[in-house]
Amino acid sequence: MGLIGVIGKQLQHPRGLLGKALFAWMTPKTIEHARWTADLMEVQPDDDLLEVGFGNGANIELLAERTSKGHVRGAEISKTAIEMASRRNARAISEGRVTLHAAAGGSLPFDDGAFDKACTVATMYVIGNPGTVFKEMHRVLKLGGLAAVTFPVRENFMRFKPAQTDGFHLHELADLEAAFRDAGFVETRTERNDAVRFGAHCMLGRKAASE
């Protein structure tokens, strides 16, 4: 496997020293995606929040800063990412404001209706079946809760050579939007931001206020 292939595999599931190095390289390129997402979600100090696929914890840190009276939980499958995020958010974890979980987005270890808001940033193209993640995000939201799903603009990201390797799933925007609605989200809309690296789409939707 060539270097591009190795980088592609690490971006899908970061491991070890190379995974840590890639996080250090990618975070400055994607943190603006996370800030934009938090702005669109209008995060409040008392929100209980979930991030699916939190990487090295940079966005967890950002969310924790905005939820001084709430709680932020994260779900992530990469042990390397969990180690990095745990160090980065050590103070908030010790204060009981952040909790990190080893879990896949399609099988979240949380009760129904546990969160005010849920997000996932820069994960869609490494997930084969995003609909399973959307359904789980919908399940764990409170009635009226808000979900945000942010990912690079497909046409731009396709020019990023590691994204051309096996294991990436460059879903069409329309397919992601349909899966998001099929998961049960209402009042859906998609925002676009061309000022960030690769450009970005953010799909927003709510769990219905009554069932």
pLDDT in tens, the chain (211 residues): 454 444 444 454 556 555 555 666 566 667 899 999 999 999 999 999 999 999 889 999 999 999 999 999 999 998 888 999 999 999 999 999 999 999 999 999 999 999 999 999 999 988 999 999 999 999 999 999 999 999 999 999 888 766 666 677 899 999 999 999 999 999 999 999 999 989 999 999 999 998 7
pLDDT at 163: 67
Give residue 12's pLDDT. 47
The torsion region of residue 137 among left (phi > 0), alpha (psi -120 to 50) and beta comes to alpha
Q: Are 101 and 74 in contact (CB under 8 A)?
A: yes
* pLDDT for position 203: 98
Give the span between the Cα atoms of 93 and 173, in whole angstroms.
Answer: 35
User: Token digits for 44?
Assistant: 């409040």
| Residue 162 confidence (pLDDT) | 67
User: What structural domains does the chain harbor?
Assistant: 3-206 (3.40.50.150)
How much is the pLDDT for 8?
44
Question: Which own/partner contact pairs does 70-73 have at CB distance under 8 Å and 24+ positions apart?
Answer: 70/44, 70/45, 70/46, 70/97, 70/116, 71/96, 71/97, 71/98, 71/99, 72/48, 72/97, 72/98, 72/99, 73/48, 73/49, 73/98, 73/99, 73/100, 73/101, 73/110, 73/115
- The confidence score (pLDDT) of residue 157 equals 86
Element (H, E) at 59: helix 58-66
In angstroms, the CA 104 to CA 68 distance is: 26
pLDDT at 10: 47
pLDDT of 87 reads 93
